[in-house]
Amino acid sequence: MPVRYALLLAAAAFPAAAPAAAHAGTFADLAEIDRDVAAFTGVPQGQPGGAVRPVDRRLKLSPCSSPLDLRWYNARRESVVVQCPSANGWKLYVPVLTKPVAAVENAVSRGDAVTVAVSGEGFTVSQPGEAMEAGVIGAWIRVRSVSGGKSVGEPMRARVVRPGLVEVPMP
């Protein structure tokens, strides 16, 4: 019998102990969600196949009166959907580590020629640049603009989109 069900039975059998056995606050136990995700994936958090990181502790989710529903978001198993099926329930998407950290390769290496795309609502402007740091897709790295083979302007931070392309999103 899972621990959470044992606690619920103990709370029902011993009403005086209910406040101690029940959730200590008015919000869902995020550590319990982390444990449920680890049990669902069969892999500890931080390991390939397990949750990338704990559920954000700033979340203030209402307690769920029903057992949580966990399922894969898609066939690639990159996220676990955690849903509270109760009335006024909620839904979370927990990212899963698909590759060991050491196996993730840089999409951009230091010194690589890159296209720097500055984009905002309804526009994109691009210019040649040089990566000053290495980074994987999604990482923020320092880049500098290049004109005529020479650096121009100050280095800026850009997000790696794919090999050879970084972007600076404008609000």
Match domain 113-169 to its CATH number in 3.50.50.60, 2.70.210.12, 1.10.357.10, 2.30.30.760. Answer: 2.30.30.760
Residues of the chain with CATH 2.30.30.760: 113-169
Q: How is 110-146 classified by DSSP, letter by letter?
A: TT-EEEEEEEETTEEEEEEEEESS-B-TT-EEEEEEE
Length of the chain: 171
Per-block mean pLDDT, blocks of 10 residues, the chain (171 long): 38 37 69 94 89 92 93 89 92 84 75 90 89 90 86 87 89 75
Residues 49, 43 contacting (CB under 8 angstroms): yes
How much is the pLDDT for 16?
Answer: 37
Strand partners, 88: none
Q: What is the pTM of this model?
A: 0.46
Burial of 155 (0-12, 13-18, 19+ CB in 10 A): middle
Residues 58, 27 contacting (CB under 8 angstroms): no
Strand partners, 95: 79
